[in-house]
Amino acid sequence: MAGETSFPASMGKLAPWCYRVLTPFLASLLPFDTMASFRILAFITNVLSIFFLYFMLDHFRFSITTRILGILLYAGTFWTLKFSFFSPSYIDYLTQFFLILIIFLTLRKMYIPLIFVFLVAGLQKESLAAFSVFSIIHFLRHGKTSHIWTKIIISLLLFAAPFTTALIVRSIVQPINTYSPTVLFSFFNQATSIRSFVAILIQASFSGLGIIPIILACQLSVLDTLYLQILGMGDLRAHFTCFSFRGM
C-alpha cells in the first residue's frame, strides 16, 4: 500500500499493521519518494544486520571463514536481503535487525542499552517483546551484579520496556478493525501443521543460499561413510587424509 494512491487512506489504520509505526516513520524522514526511501532504509538496515551478525559470530570465536559463511547463509535466505528489495515497504528487514541487535547486546551483557532498544522495538513489532524473556534469563544467569534488587529492577525494566511502548501506541492509534493478539496462536497452529511445515521447509531450503546447509549435510553423510570404510581398511595415511578433508 505504500506509495500506492489507489488504496484508501483508511487502510493505513488496519490492525495489527497500524501499530508497527517505526519503519514507515523512519522512511518518512528521508528526502526521497516513498519507495526509494524504503529501499534506502532497507539497504542501511541490512548492512547493519550483517555487521552485528559478523561480530555475534566473532563472540563465539568462529573462524573468519565460518563468519563469512554465516553471513552468506543469512543474506541468501529469502526473508532477509532479497525480500527487502522486492517488497521494501514491509517491516521484516528492520524487525530482523532488532532481533540480531537484541541477541548481540544480550551476549555482550550490555543490559542497560538493551532496555532502550526494547523501548524502541515496541514501535517496530509487538512480537519482539517475547525476546525480553531470553534477555532476562541470560541476565539472571550471567549478569555481573550480585545485588538481588538490582537484578529484579533490571529484569522488570527489560520485560516492561517493549510492552509499555506497544501499549502507548495502541492507546494512540485507533484501528478501523478489531484485532486480538490471540490470533497469533491460531497462526502458530497452522504454521506448525505437517503440511505447512513441509512447504515452509522447501521454500527456506531452496531460497538463495539456503540450499547450502542441505549440501553440507549430504556431504558430511558421504564423508562419514567414506571415513568408516577407510578405518575398516586400516590405511593410516588415508585415515589422516579423510580427517583433514573433513576439517576443511
Q: pTM higher than 0.85 for the full model?
A: no
Mean pLDDT taken over the chain: 77
Sign of the alpha-carbon dihedral angle for 113, 47, 128, 13: positive
The domain locations on the chain are 9-179, 182-248
Average the pLDDT over 31-51 and give the result: 91
DSSP per position, the chain: -TT-TTS-GGGGG-TTGGG--HHHHHHHTSSS-HHHHHHHHHHHHHHHHHHHHHHHHHHTT--HHHHHHHHHHHHHSIIIIIHHHHSTTSSHHHHHHHHHHHHHHHHTT-HHHHHHHHHHHHHH-GGGGGHHHHHHHHHHHH-S---HHHHHHHHHHHHHHHHHHHHHHHHH---SS---TTHHHHHHHHHTSHHHHHHHHHHHHTSGGGGHHHHHHHHHHHHHHHHHHHHHHT-HHHHHHHHHHHT-
pLDDT-based confidence at residue 109 (cuts at 50, 70, 90): very high
Look-up: residue for cell 551476549?
Answer: 107
Res. 185: pLDDT tops 80:
no
Cell of 91: 517491516
Q: Answer with the residue of higher pLDDT: 60 or 244.
A: 60
pLDDT-based confidence at residue 243 (cuts at 50, 70, 90): very low
Res. 128: pLDDT tops 50:
yes
Average the pLDDT over 43-65 and give the result: 90
Cell of 33: 519518494
Closest CA to 162 of 127, 111, 113: 127
pLDDT-based confidence at residue 191 (cuts at 50, 70, 90): low
- What percent of the chain stands above pLDDT 70? 69
pLDDT-based confidence at residue 190 (cuts at 50, 70, 90): low
Average the pLDDT over 160-181 and give the result: 84
- In degrees and rounded to multiples of 5, residue 169 shows phi and psi of -60, -45
